[in-house]
Amino acid sequence: MLTQNGLGYKIPNKVAAKQGPAFLQKQRNGSVAYTQGVAAEQQACDWLEQDGWTVLLRRARTHRGEIDIVASKAAVLCFVEVKKRRSIEEALVSLQPAQQRRLFRAAECLLQKHPYWQYEEMRFDLFVFDDAGRMERLENVIRQM
């Protein structure tokens, strides 16, 4: 016998009983967060393109991590992380040192994979969005390159 969870997926009743309502609520919240994150990434891409940047890659996955957006403008290659949180303040503190290291390593992998990316400057920017739709952009948030 199958039960439909909150996301529309059918799962066995035994699994649904073990997971319970708390699991299903967390699963629903995760789906909402994912959707909001994808929308925030699209807003960041739109902003970059309107500002004259060329988006080279989105959701660039490597074995060392994922970069949300890779963009270029003139002599600058930019690795962009996008954060969507309830408040701008929450988003600003959400880029922890461990994630910064992962982003840096993922960028190194992408540079090895794309040796023709020759730019005078490379940097990491952070776009943060809150529930009210406000956006802030911080340039050069990781200074290891």
Residue 125 has pLDDT above 90, yes or no: yes
Residue 86 has pLDDT above 70, yes or no: yes
CATH number at 29 reads: 3.40.1350.10
58 in any annotated domain: yes
Which string of DSSP letters, residue by residue, matches 39-106? HHHHHHHHHHHHTT-EEEEEEEEETTEEEEEEEEETTEEEEEEEEE-SSHHHHHTT--HHHHHHHHHH
91 in any annotated domain: yes
88 in any annotated domain: yes
106 in any annotated domain: yes
**Pick the residue with more confidence: 51 or 17?**
51
89 in any annotated domain: yes
Q: What is the mean pLDDT of residues 97-101?
A: 91
Q: Token digits for 130?
A: 């809150």
Q: What is the mean pLDDT of residues 45-67?
A: 96
CA gap 7, 12 in Å, rounded? 14
79 in any annotated domain: yes
Residue 47 has pLDDT above 80, yes or no: yes
Average model confidence (pLDDT) across the chain: 83
Q: Tell me, what's the pLDDT at 65? A: 93
Domain count, the chain: 1
| Per-position b or e across 69-99, b if 16+ CB within 10 A of its CB | bbbbeeeebbbbbbbbbeebeebbeebeeee
Q: What is the dihedral of CA 89, 97, 38, 19, to 10 degrees?
A: -100
143 in any annotated domain: no
4 in any annotated domain: no
pTM value surpassing 0.85 = no
Q: Tell me, what's the pLDDT at 19? A: 56
Q: Tell me, what's the pLDDT at 30? A: 66
Q: Token digits for 107?
A: 């960028």
Structural domain of 42: 10-138
